[in-house]
């Protein structure tokens, strides 16, 4: 098992490697983009990339503290479900409300890759191959879908 500092360093090194790998890749609009900290322009809607010692997850995370507003965002994504899955070329899991360790409730749409570890450098190509096409597909989806959320701002 890794010490906390070693684990933190490996995570940081993975994200630096991923960031460098993705750096030359333009957004769907042809612009430079920070793929790791993707900005949706909606305060409480995030595209999250997460990897740990057991799995990797990419998600659309709806984190509004007001449950009713969070539900409206989720329902809007449900309206766009066909477009989302067509753009992703796969179906993702949908959770209307799920708890976080910080005693917060979020809604999320996600895809998980199991039996991988950020602490195994030999699996980094597999992790990058998991994240890259999906975050790029989310970007393409968002270029069309973001206008559907204008009334919820």
Which domain does 73 fall in, by range?
4-152
CATH number of the domain that residue 35 is part of: 3.30.1460
**Mean pLDDT for the chain overall:** 93
> Which three-class secondary structure state does DSSP give residue 107?
strand
Task: Give the C-alpha separation, 152 to 73, whole Å.
Answer: 8
Beta strand residue intervals within 68-149, DSSP E: 93-99, 105-114
Task: Give the C-alpha separation, 4 to 78, whole Å.
Answer: 39
| Backbone angles phi and psi of 82, in degrees to 5 | -60, -45
pTM for this one? 0.92
Q: How confident is the model at residue 80 (pLDDT cuts 50, 70, 90)?
A: very high
pLDDT, residue 17, reads: 97
The more confident residue out of 5 and 70 is: 70
How many domains in the chain? Answer: 1
Closest by Cα among 107, 25, 7 to 60: 107
């Amino acid at each position: 098992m890794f010490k906390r500092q070693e684990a933190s360093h490996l995570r940081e090194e993975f994200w630096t490697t991923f960031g460098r790998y993705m750096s030359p890749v333009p957004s769907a609009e042809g612009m430079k983009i920070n793929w790791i900290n993707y900005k949706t322009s909606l305060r409480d809607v995030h595209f999250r990339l997460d990897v740990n010692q057991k799995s990797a997850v990419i998600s659309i995370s709806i984190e509004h503290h007001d449950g009713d507003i969070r539900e409206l965002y989720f329902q809007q994504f449900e309206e766009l479900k066909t477009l989302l899955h067509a753009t992703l070329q796969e179906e993702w899991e949908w959770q209307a409300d799920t708890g976080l360790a910080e005693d917060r409730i979020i809604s999320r749409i996600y895809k998980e890759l199991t039996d991988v570890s950020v602490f195994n450098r030999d699996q980094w190509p597999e992790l990058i191959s998991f994240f890259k096409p999906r975050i790029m597909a989310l970007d393409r989806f968002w270029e069309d879908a973001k206008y559907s959320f204008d009334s919820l701002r």
